[in-house]
């Protein structure tokens, strides 16, 4: 639906700028003009086609449950909460709108910001711990499977002052009668920043120098690095990137979620984060989300995906994906390869079909971290062990969110 900055929706939400978009929706930063509820919200406006409307209703139902079931649970605050929901009518039809608590950039933005070098292990631990808390709430209390855990759907909290800065800039454009930068209405607020009203070069550089190698609040740094690069080329930062110790995240996008006892689809998850049992068509449950957390944990520290099979959705992609899993795990137990509606297409007697064993190179996570990413082995061992317990091939043996929170890597002091 055509949305303009400055529009007032439902006589309550003033549109300030675009925050992001997905397959089903566009998401806008809005100021809440009523006295009730938070001052700023993210407004998700779903596409109008009937099929999108049905999905939106499911998402609302799921969001409502997660909001009500148990606000005292430790994971409650790690799920993005819905504020309000209503309908909007446009030339295209009826759109479902969901207002949610406002969040900042996603973990994908954080990875982009690190130039895909990844973030420091201590930051990764803080993030993964919070994701697991959120999942322990979704799984154990709400009986909901998220089904789309990936960096893009984990959002970082930013403080209200930061939101205000973004908004005051937008208002300044209006006040001065300057055309709104394209990025404000057409793209993702956290990447393509327009710096016309930004700091002077000198300021940015000195701030950058000051912060180099130190721990800094992520949101303050955001944009500055991009700007620095635009002006001076690639900075020589030491990988990996630090994140603020008080980073707080929440799990977003329940748009594809389902209940333990009521699935919507046999195939779930974004390809690279898809669990082994889903690929094999062996049924799925909460453990599928845990697999995705394992993939994401690796990606957060290395900047590279754990499994990145060729192509999108074909048998060839599945076979490639299974080879990658086989190589990383050092094999897949035969009883696992015999379960699932797709299993016989890819395995026979526990061996991968149409794959010459000579092509496979067993490369366990611990060795990948040491050989490719130059980690010290003492650091690689506990982290690799933790990740392996999340990508355990047997979903029945895989750690649950609560068990993972008790695991040695999470609880040990550095």
Q: How many residues bind Mg ion (CB under 5 A)?
A: 4
Smallest gap from residue 155 Cβ to Mg ion (A) = 10
DSSP annotation string for 13-28: EEEEEEEEE-SSEEEE
Residues 254-273 that bind Mg ion (CB under 5 A): 255
Q: Please tell me whether 61 is known to bind a ligand.
A: no
What are the tokens at 89? 């009518």
Q: Is 148 a catalytic residue?
A: yes
Please state the three-class secondary structure of 241-262 as a single string.
Answer: ECCCCCCCEEECCHHHCEECCE
- Sequence length of the chain is 414
Q: Is 277 in the site for Mg ion (CB under 5 A)?
A: no
Q: Alpha-carbon dihedral of residues 28, 33, 39, 41, nearest 10 degrees?
A: -20
User: Of these residues, 84, 148, 192, 227, which one is catalytic?
Assistant: 148
Q: Which is nearer to Mg ion, 292 or 328 (CB)?
A: 292
Nearer to Mg ion, 47 or 321 (CB): 47
Question: In angstroms, rounded to a whole number, what is the distance separating the alpha carbons of residues 149 and 249?
Answer: 13
Rounded Cα distance, 190 and 172, in Å: 19
Q: Where are the beta strands (DSSP E) in 22-118?
A: 25-32, 40-46, 82-90, 93-101
Element housing 58 (H / E): helix 50-68
Q: Which is nearer to ligand ATP, 255 or 294 (CB)?
A: 255
Structure tokens at 399: 């750690």
| Smallest distance from Mg ion to CB 253, Å | 4
Asked if 253 interacts with Mg ion (CB under 5 A), we say: yes
337 binds, among Mg ion, ligand ATP, none (CB under 5 to 8 A by kind): none
What does 98-166 look like in DSSP terms, one character per residue?
Answer: EEEE----BHHHHHHHTTTS-B-HHHHHHHHHHHHHHHHIIIIIT-EE----SGGGEEE---HHHHHHH
Residue spans of alpha helices (H) in 187-342: 201-211, 218-221, 224-232, 276-279, 287-302, 315-329, 334-337
Determine the residue with CB nearest ligand ATP: 22
- Residue 42 binding partner per list Mg ion, ligand ATP, none, with a CB distance cut-off of 5 to 8 Å that depends on partner kind: ligand ATP
Query: Which residues in 16-35 contact Mg ion (CB under 5 A)?
Result: 22
**Partner in contact with 102, chosen from ligand ATP, Mg ion, none, beta carbon below 5 to 8 Å by kind:** ligand ATP
What gap in Å lies between CA 157 and CA 169, rounded to an integer? Answer: 20
Where along the sequence are the contacts to ligand ATP (CB under 6 A)?
Answer: 19-25, 27, 42, 44, 80, 100-103, 106, 152-153, 155, 252-253, 255
Say whether residue 297 binds Mg ion (CB under 5 A): no
Among ligand ATP, Mg ion, none, partner that 20 touches (CB below 5 to 8 angstroms by kind): ligand ATP
**Which residues, 6+ apart, have CB-to-CB distance to 300 below 8 Å?**
107, 110, 111, 118, 119, 123, 124, 127, 128, 151
- The CB-of-248 to ligand ATP minimum distance in angstroms stands at 13
Pick the closer one to ligand ATP by CB: 109 or 398. 109
Distance of alpha carbon 264 from alpha carbon 262, whole angstroms: 7
What six digits make up the tokens of 272? 């690279």
Residue 103 contact, options Mg ion, ligand ATP, none, Cβ 5-8 Å cut-off depending on partner type = ligand ATP
Q: Which is nearer to ligand ATP, 100 or 352 (CB)?
A: 100
Partner from Mg ion, ligand ATP, none contacting 155, C-beta within 5 to 8 A by type: ligand ATP
User: Which residues ranging from 148 to 207 are in contact with Mg ion (CB under 5 A)?
Assistant: 153
Closer CB to ligand ATP, 295 or 329, in the complex: 295
Binding residue numbers for ATP = 44
Report the interface residues with Mg ion, using CB under 5 A.
22, 153, 253, 255
Active site residues: 148
Binding residue numbers = 44
């Amino acid at each position: 639906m055509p949305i303009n900055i400055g529009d007032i929706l439902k006589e309550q939400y003033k549109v300030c700028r675009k925050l992001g978009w997905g397959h089903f929706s566009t998401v806008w930063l809005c100021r809440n003009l009523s006295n009730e509820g938070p001052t700023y919200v993210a407004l998700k406006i779903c596409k109008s086609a009937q099929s999108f409307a049905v999905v939106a209703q499911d998402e609302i139902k799921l969001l409502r449950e997660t909001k009500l079931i148990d606000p005292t649970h430790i994971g409650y605050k790690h799920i993005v909460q819905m504020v309000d929901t209503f309908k909007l009518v446009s030339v295209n039809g009826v759109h479902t709108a969901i207002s949610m608590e406002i969040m900042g950039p996603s973990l994908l933005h954080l990875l982009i910001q690190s130039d895909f070098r990844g973030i420091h292990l201590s930051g990764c631990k803080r993030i993964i711990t919070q994701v697991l808390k959120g999942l322990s709430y979704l799984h154990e209390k709400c009986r909901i499977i998220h089904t789309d855990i990936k960096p893009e759907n984990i959002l970082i909290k930013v403080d209200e002052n930061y939101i205000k800065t973004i908004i005051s800039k937008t208002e300044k454009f209006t006040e001065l009668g300057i055309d709104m930068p394209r990025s404000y209405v057409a793209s993702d607020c956290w990447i393509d920043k327009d710096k016309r009203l930004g700091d002077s070069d000198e300021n940015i550089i000195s701030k950058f120098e000051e912060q180099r190698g130190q721990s800094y609040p992520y949101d303050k740094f955001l944009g500055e690095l991009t700007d620095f690069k635009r002006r001076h080329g690639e900075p020589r930062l030491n990988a990996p990137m630090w994140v603020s110790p008080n980073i707080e995240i929440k799990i977003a996008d329940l748009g594809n979620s389902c209940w333990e006892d009521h699935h919507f689809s046999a195939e779930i998850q974004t390809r690279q984060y898809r669990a082994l049992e889903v690929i094999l068509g062996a049924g799925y449950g909460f453990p599928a989300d845990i697999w995705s957390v394992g993939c994401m944990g690796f990606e957060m520290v290395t900047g590279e995906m754990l499994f990145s099979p060729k192509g999108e959705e074909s048998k060839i992609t599945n076979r490639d994906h299974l080879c990658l899993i086989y190589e990383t795990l050092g094999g897949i137990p035969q009883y696992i390869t015999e379960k699932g509606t797709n299993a016989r297409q890819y395995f026979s007697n526990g061996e991968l079909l149409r794959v010459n064993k000579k092509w496979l190179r067993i490369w366990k996570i611990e060795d990948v971290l040491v050989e490719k990413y130059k980690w010290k082995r003492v650091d690689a061992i506990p982290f690799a062990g933790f990740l392996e317990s999340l990508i355990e091939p047997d979903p029945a043996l895989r750690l649950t969110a609560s068990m993972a929170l008790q695991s040695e890597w999470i609880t040990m002091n550095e």
